[in-house]
Structure 1
Amino acid sequence: MPHDLGKPLLRLNDPTDAPRRRSGGGGGDARSFTRAAQVANHGPFFKQLAEVLDGDNPALELRANPDSLAPERLLVFEVTGSVKDFAKAASRIAGLEFTGEEELGADEHDKNPEFYLLVPQLGALREILSLWDGWETNGTVPRNYTPWRDLFLQLRAVRPWGPADRVSPQNREYFEAVVDGAPDDFAVRIEIELVFRAAAEARQRAEQEVAAAVIASGGTIIHRCVHPAFAYHALLVDVPAAEVRRFCALNPESLAGVDPIGSIVPQSVGVPLEVGDSLPIDPVHPQPANAEPIAAIFDAVPLQAHPLLAGRLVVDDPANLEARAVGSRVHGTAMASLAVHGDLNDPASPISRRVYFRPVMFAPAFGGEIFADDRLVIDTVVEAVMRMRAEGGTQVFIVNLSLGDTTRPFAGNISAWGKALDYLAYQYGILFLVSAGNVAGGLTLEGHADVPTFHAAEVGVRNASVLRALDAIKADRRLLAPADSLNALTIGSWHRDAVANAFAGASPFAPYIDQDMPNISSRLGLGHRRSTKPDILLAGGRQPVLFDPMAQGLVMGSHPNPSRYWGLKVAAPTGDAATGTHFTIGTSGANALATHTAHRIHDALERAYPQLIETMALGHKAALIKALLVHCASWRDVEQFIRPIVDPELTLNHEHWRREVCRHLGYGFVDPEDAIACAGDRATMWATGTLGLEGSTVFNVPVPVALAGSPAHREVRATLAWLAPVRPGHLAYRAIKLKINALGGEDLGAFGVATMNSQPTNSQSESGTIIHRRWRDARIGNFEDGATMPIHIQREKDQGTPIDEPIPFGLAVTIEMPGMQEIYTQALQGIDLKPQVQVPV
């Protein structure tokens, strides 16, 4: 869309308090069983427990049996659906620690099954058994223990946390490949995540037991860390290949059978960056005058002396990774270049400040850039944020993480790294921008006899074949940690760049012809509890594809190497470092462009409203920039291409098919220029604020009178973003939910708009920390001059224990009427606080 830097974003007038609107209802009832059926199903298990508890040394006997419920052993209660207030009821039993709850995969019987995790002492086991005996006898439980009765009625299974829980099938496959052919004493570095215990003494005992088991296996402790704020307790250890084989075989005598261990996972492995095709450097623009950073990059050691980066970075390297970075400094240099300059093929778009840079990876002599292998990466990131706040980055509220852990694709539950970012975002007022991750695997195309047949097919048939092949393996292309973070913005890669002379040869070729789509290498959503992920798509380079001549069938893969004919142009550390640039492709680059755009939005706001922005709290800034980045995203009608592939009979309900579109597009494609300024026919207005417990407020948006004078197309969109405190281990992980109440029928008619399907559904949008609404139509409005449109936002009832803290939010609202150049001027007339930039009227 066109934009005009002389028409800055407008600050909305102050809101007014408003009565709360009624919230929607919850889900359906969970399946329950009869008491007789439950006694028949689970009675023998509890009877066996009772017999052991009556013995001479029940604790010893229970611990000796790995399949029993035992003191200090993590127990799993699988239920058919949520049991209200179960955590509170569990806390009434002395010596019973509630450590978490998670969703199970839905099946034909239960739509929303869950499980609860409990660590009992011996007395607590006796009391659980007493509750079961009473309920089995007469169907009742004591006062204040009603959730236990509901749990018994909904119980599907009760069991200890076992080896198969600790080592997932995916991780077993990874470890087996690592030790294949290795001698028994070959050292393998792994991460052990412990069951988090709230009490420091319990954590210490648990760690001692795990450390003793590691040493007994022939292993060594390398690093440990505990972060109670997001329930993380982990060890980095070396173990011999023989032990790896034992825990991959789920041997209960191996580390997989050690009670305090929650999971055994590979050591974090970063994502490599492909670059190529060097070119001379373009003219270097003046360095920024302001040395105080508001944006940071956590990445691999960059080439600081490169002319495009010299004087533009504030590098803080407490671990002296610079000394270890003896290889080619590709990743950090490219990300710094994009965050500072944007795509060098685009017109210059300088940012106003230097960028804080914290190296967390380095380039060894051979191979790709890596994390330091003697420290847990989550601990590194937490320390980096805390140090940044103390030294050199006190005003930073945007952090670029174009990093991902290839060993941790999203599996339904938020990763420990994602939880760390969620905590840090809320605690320190930071907007983390995270790349979705890339995947290199090929797509098997059906319906074409050979390559010539594919190329001879109609464009629509070709495009559909590619998407159908991608949809068939979507489960293998999930986001990489920490892109599953709820408070962060996750960025995917749009098949787009600014290369002027695109490659015109027959191979490689574009995967889609005349069709906006992500690169086929860009990883797919959804996120936690089906939340919208990736959030947005920015240009990641036009990555071409080619066919694998050695594969069985017709297998298409992404071209591995960027080129001057496709990709994002960045500073190059290879060849002649004094003059070099080259090209890169993927979600890392798209994420760095999002960081560049976020900085430019802040610069534009600061020019227009310097006093407001200068004094604004970091949490408010983070929420506002988050809202404005998403605000201009749209599906660009691509749902019309995707829906027939994911819903060929057009029989799926709107929730389902829109969710499948969202898996690819998130909230949609973002053109950075649309986020920086308005245009004559488009007015974007913004606000920040806080909402206390069950708070409710209305922003009255001035409506241009032009909407009442023409039946032309018009659109209204509103985006609300916030940083939520979280509760690790609970289904209500996101503790705070905000909401935009939809425009009512009367308002829709008055302003000539209607609800639209080309966006994520309300229920899906409301699963995260961004609400994005769009209304569109082409009807004459029916309102008087000076009318306002009410945008009503409210804080829903807190999930779990209420949080008595005001939650910062950012809000963006746009009114657009293509071709009607009076829109901005008329909206400006209704704004009380005018921007300082001179605006022609």
Structure 2
Amino acid sequence: MLDDLPADDPAMARLYLTMPTENGMRQLLAMWRRFETKLAPREDEKDWWKIFGYLSKIRVWNATDRIEPATQLFIDRRMARDAAGPVRLELDLWFHEDESVRMKAKESLEGILAAIGGRIVDFVTIEPIRYQVALIEVPAQQAVDLRSRTGALANADQVMSIRPQSLYSAAPLSEPIESEQNSAQGPVQELRPAVAAILDGYPMQNHALLAGRVDVVEVDITGDSVPVERRFHGTAIASLVLHGDLANGEDPLTRRLKVVPVLAAPQHLNDERTREDLLPLGVIYRAVVALKEDDGLFGPSGPDVLIINHSLCDAEGPFVRRPTPWAKLLDWLSEKYGILFVVSAGNITGQFPSGYSDHASFNSAAPLERQIALLRAVEASKGMRSILSPAEAMTALSVGAVHADGAGDCPSEAMDPFSAVGVTNIGSAIGPGINRALKPDIVEAGGRQVANASNQPAGHHIWPSEIGHIGLKAAAPDPFTGSSSKTRRSTGTSNAAALVTRAGVRIIDALEEVLAEDGTALRDFSRASLATRTLLVHGASWGDAGTLLEAAYPPPGLGQWRRRRGIITKFLGYGRPSYDQVIEGASNRVTLLADDEIRHEQLHEYRVPIPTSMVRSREIRRITMTLSWMPPMHPTSIAYRGVTLDVVDQAGQRKFWRGVKTIMQPHPDDMRRGTCAHFILEGNNSTAFVDSNGLFIGVQARALNAHFHQSSVPYALAVTLEVAPTVQEDIYASVRNAIRPRPRVRA
């Protein structure tokens, strides 16, 4: 491996190259040494000398690459907590296709660890994502050596990287649990099979809101290891999926919910967390396999599951540059089993500058002025607010948290930072994702967080906090009286992801009804998860929040709109969806859904007949298009995605049609980098924008790696036509009677 620039210079970048043979690497290093001594190149070396002119250093992979600054800081924190105690870390071995070579590498690692008094705690290999990782434990002194990048382990050639132990923990509110009893007493009718599952904490199964509604699948976490009075997170997420925010009084889902517990509750701690003796990726992998594969005795435990709520993240793993193994795992599982992961973007709880000189000026500021200042402060701290792994997963639907809930007014003694509707709360992590792909995909209500503030040596700082009076209301255990009907309020991206999962189940129910009309069973619809993802995004928009942030965020000026749009996208993604507009029909609105598979350099042509009322009309008309696809992934390629898709006009561009234009939304360049594209076009002039054959919508494919030229990529396309309610024509009926869209395929 080669490294071209100093690792300690943030303005510089690294370039990693793999040499096919050791001899080739030696020749390259020999050429570099001659270049450094300013020797003239030979005739066949002149091109190399040109490349070398851009580089400051070439070296083999070493301890500097294996142990990044984040790992050093992790060791510092562990040593500060217990200077004499052992430290656990995750160690990535270089992956080899040959299993015998992999086993030898493991044996060699065991030898090194034995010599320094360490041990392997857990070891997992997942071949499709080239994952061979050991959870190791080393004595304190050896951890100090790793911190300084010295010692046998830091310089072991078979080791690719040494990372912080992946951890996720969820602690209950410090506020007392609400005394309110909930009257819901479980299902009142026979529930249909589950199409959704959650990977989370162990739920309180006998809670009045969950009793008879959840099916627990035990894999790595058993009920006897999680006391009932500490089952907060899984109980809340299950409640939010089944019932939504209880303050809104929504009807419960009519389906059961699968729950695979993946969080433990260690006795010596006061929270729920990933098991300290298991690699989280192994736990997640085994959980999904248990849902979808036959165990040889009872069959898969969740054969109909299409959507999996993953309100977990790696608190020690903010996304930086390259996709993490956790994200690669979700992308591979999505493709293998045809499921949609709904993933929380992550919560950022650290302090950041408020933009005020001191606490007095912060408190005395006018509410509107302070709101604008805080919005800018959150934006200014974006460098410390990256989404947490695995939220960068390309095929997952990553969800940020909006500052909203169904609770009443915020108590006067607490600082509610935003009165604005639709902005993200101050703890919600932001994008972008892999190769600057649009992340989070959407945002949803995550509960209102209050702002704590104080004067710090480095200036006035704020940080997010929860109080028991506001937030999303959900079922909760009662550690004091053992009641089975208590509730509590909480906030965060975990809650937002749960509400999106709930909406996904509603969309799946609607899809099942439509399929039944055609005589097709939901289980036979192989692209159901893609259709669900497409329709979840389809109703999203920035709305008033986009207008507010456009005015509040830098850089100012008309010529800087592109940069401002990019900043807003990092926070809002495609925006907050309106699911009812997708699920429920209306006479002035019709939504069409198509799905198919496409290959490199193919174009699928769709023609949609346009109702008379949309042609040469001065009434508002809106066209919304959403395309999602499931590309094959190349886990070691810099492009990562194997194939990209695009929505295009007849000329293969995105100029689309006269008479409509895009509203405030992400820039097309931000959309192109992911696996979902979403456009809203609107207009009210009378210019014709269709030809006699109907509205042209093209889906075009392009392979990003020659290995995938022959790959078939499944996709789902949703198109909504909408006119103002004042228009008399029933466009739903007009289009329904005129079309059953099938693509025309051409190169």
Q: TM-score, normalised by structure 2?
A: 0.89
Q: Which amino acid aligns with 2:346?
A: G
Give the structure 2 partner of residue 54 of structure 1: none
Cα distance, 1:137–1:347 mapped onto 2, change above 3 Å: same
Q: Is the 8 A contact 2:201 2:263 kept in 1?
A: yes
Question: Cα distance, 1:474 vs. partner?
Answer: 1.2
Cα distance, 1:153–1:471 mapped onto 2, change above 3 Å: same
Give the structure 2 partner of residue 793 of structure 1: 699
Cα distance, 1:402–1:221 mapped onto 2, change above 3 Å: same
1:398 maps to 2:307: yes
In the TM superposition, 1:540-555 aligns within 5 A as 540-548=446-454, 553-555=459-461
Question: Cα distance, 1:531 vs. partner?
Answer: 0.7
Q: Is the 8 A contact 1:397 1:618 kept in 2?
A: no
In the TM superposition, 1:620-635 aligns within 5 A as 620-635=527-542
Question: Cα distance, 1:171 vs. partner?
Answer: 2.1
Q: Which amino acid aligns with 1:640?
A: T
Q: Is the 8 A contact 2:657 2:690 kept in 1?
A: no
Give the structure 2 partner of residue 248 of structure 1: 147
Q: Is the 8 A contact 2:371 2:418 kept in 1?
A: yes
Give the structure 2 partner of residue 353 of structure 1: 255
Q: In 2, distance between residues paired with 1:773 and 1:715?
A: 10
Question: Cα distance, 1:197 vs. partner?
Answer: 2.5
Q: In 1, distance between residues paired with 2:616 and 2:204?
A: 57
Give the structure 2 partner of residue 588 of structure 1: 494
Question: Cα distance, 1:342 vs. partner?
Answer: 1.6
Question: Cα distance, 1:284 vs. partner?
Answer: 3.6
Question: Cα distance, 1:417 vs. partner?
Answer: 0.4
Q: In 2, distance between residues paired with 1:105 and 1:636?
A: 40
User: In terms of mean alpha carbon deviation, does 269-278 or 535-544 score higher?
Assistant: 269-278
1:158 maps to 2:58: yes
Cα distance, 1:615–1:131 mapped onto 2, change above 3 Å: farther
Q: In 2, distance between residues paired with 1:492 and 1:386?
A: 27
In the TM superposition, 1:32-431 aligns within 5 A as 75-78=1-4, 107=11, 115-118=15-18, 122-125=22-25, 128=28, 137-140=41-44, 155-180=55-80, 182-184=82-84, 186-251=85-150, 253-275=151-173, 276-284=177-185, 286=187, 289-326=190-227, 327-365=229-267, 366-390=269-293, 391-431=300-340
Q: In 1, distance between residues paired with 2:129 and 2:73?
A: 28
1:521 maps to 2:427: yes
Question: Cα distance, 1:373 vs. partner?
Answer: 2.1
Q: Is the 8 A contact 2:442 2:577 kept in 1?
A: yes
Q: Which amino acid aligns with 1:729?
A: T
Cα distance, 1:677–1:636 mapped onto 2, change above 3 Å: same
Cα distance, 1:747–1:580 mapped onto 2, change above 3 Å: closer
Q: In 2, distance between residues paired with 1:432 and 1:248?
A: 36
Q: Is the 8 A contact 2:340 2:530 kept in 1?
A: yes
Q: In 2, distance between residues paired with 1:784 and 1:474?
A: 42
User: In terms of mean alpha carbon deviation, does 362-371 or 580-589 score higher?
Assistant: 362-371
Q: In 2, distance between residues paired with 1:510 and 1:734?
A: 41
Give the structure 1 partner of residue 641 of structure 2: 734
Instruction: For residue 269 of structure 1, give the secondary structure of its aligned residue in structure 2.
Output: coil
Q: Is the 8 A contact 2:187 2:213 kept in 1?
A: no
Cα distance, 1:274–1:780 mapped onto 2, change above 3 Å: farther
Q: In 2, distance between residues paired with 1:405 and 1:260?
A: 25
Cα distance, 1:227–1:456 mapped onto 2, change above 3 Å: same
> Once the two structures are aligned, what percentage of the paired residues are identical?
29
Aligned residues: 722
Give the structure 1 partner of residue 297 of structure 2: none
Q: Is the 8 A contact 1:443 1:466 kept in 2?
A: no
Cα distance, 1:198–1:204 mapped onto 2, change above 3 Å: same
Q: 1:529-549 CA deviation, whole Å, 9 max, x = no partner? A: 111111100111122224337
Question: Cα distance, 1:654 vs. partner?
Answer: 4.5
Cα distance, 1:376–1:291 mapped onto 2, change above 3 Å: same
Question: Cα distance, 1:787 vs. partner?
Answer: 5.8
Q: Is the 8 A contact 1:755 1:776 kept in 2?
A: yes
Q: In 1, distance between residues paired with 2:165 and 2:204?
A: 27
Q: In 1, distance between residues paired with 2:252 and 2:606?
A: 33
Question: Cα distance, 1:209 vs. partner?
Answer: 2.5
User: In terms of mean alpha carbon deviation, does 682-691 or 520-529 score higher?
Assistant: 682-691
Give the structure 2 partner of residue 480 of structure 1: 388
Instruction: For residue 642 of structure 1, give the secondary structure of its aligned residue in structure 2.
Output: helix
Q: In 2, distance between residues paired with 1:340 and 1:138?
A: 71
Cα distance, 1:318–1:713 mapped onto 2, change above 3 Å: same
Cα distance, 1:306–1:480 mapped onto 2, change above 3 Å: same
Q: 1:538-589 CA deviation, whole Å, 9 max, x = no partner? A: 11112222433778743333233332xx211111112443221221211001
Question: Cα distance, 1:126 vs. partner?
Answer: 5.0
Q: Which amino acid aligns with 1:375?
A: L
Instruction: For residue 705 of structure 2, give the secondary structure of its aligned residue in structure 1.
Output: coil
Question: Cα distance, 1:715 vs. partner?
Answer: 1.9
User: In terms of mean alpha carbon deviation, does 573-582 or 257-266 score higher?
Assistant: 573-582
Instruction: For residue 255 of structure 1, give the secondary structure of its aligned residue in structure 2.
Output: coil
User: In terms of mean alpha carbon deviation, does 773-782 or 200-209 score higher?
Assistant: 200-209
Tell me which of the two structures has the higher relative contact order, counting C-alpha pairs closer than 8 angstroms and 6 or more residues apart. Answer: 1
Give the structure 2 partner of residue 567 of structure 1: 471
Q: Is the 8 A contact 2:209 2:485 kept in 1?
A: no
Q: Which amino acid aligns with 1:686?
A: L
Instruction: For residue 90 of structure 2, give the secondary structure of its aligned residue in structure 1.
Output: strand
Q: In 1, distance between residues paired with 2:707 and 2:336?
A: 18
Question: Cα distance, 1:394 vs. partner?
Answer: 1.6
Q: Aligned-residue CA RMSD in angstroms?
A: 3.1
Give the structure 2 partner of residue 764 of structure 1: 670
Q: In 2, distance between residues paired with 1:598 and 1:740?
A: 24
In the TM superposition, 1:444-523 aligns within 5 A as 444-447=353-356, 450-451=359-360, 453-454=361-362, 456-499=364-407, 501-503=408-410, 505-523=411-429
Give the structure 2 partner of residue 828 of structure 1: 736
Question: Cα distance, 1:374 vs. partner?
Answer: 2.0
Q: 1:392-416 CA deviation, whole Å, 9 max, x = no partner? A: 2122121110001100011121111
Q: Is the 8 A contact 1:497 1:568 kept in 2?
A: yes
Q: 1:451-499 CA deviation, whole Å, 9 max, x = no partner? A: 4x44554454222210221122211111111111111110010111122
Cα distance, 1:320–1:767 mapped onto 2, change above 3 Å: closer
Q: In 2, distance between residues paired with 1:784 and 1:370?
A: 56
Q: In 2, distance between residues paired with 1:205 and 1:286?
A: 55
Q: Is the 8 A contact 1:703 1:787 kept in 2?
A: no
Question: Cα distance, 1:783 vs. partner?
Answer: 6.4
Q: 1:511-537 CA deviation, whole Å, 9 max, x = no partner? A: 122343011011111111111111100
Give the structure 1 partner of residue 745 of structure 2: none
Q: TM-score, normalised by structure 1?
A: 0.80
Q: In 2, distance between residues paired with 1:807 and 1:401?
A: 25
Question: Cα distance, 1:208 vs. partner?
Answer: 2.5
Q: In 1, distance between residues paired with 2:652 and 2:137?
A: 63
Q: In 2, distance between residues paired with 1:591 and 1:809?
A: 23
User: In terms of mean alpha carbon deviation, does 592-601 or 636-645 score higher?
Assistant: 636-645
Q: In 2, distance between residues paired with 1:261 and 1:740?
A: 43
Q: 1:16-37 CA deviation, whole Å, 9 max, x = no partner? A: xxxxxxxxxxxxxxxxxxxxxx
Question: Cα distance, 1:506 vs. partner?
Answer: 2.5
Q: Which amino acid aligns with 1:175?
A: I
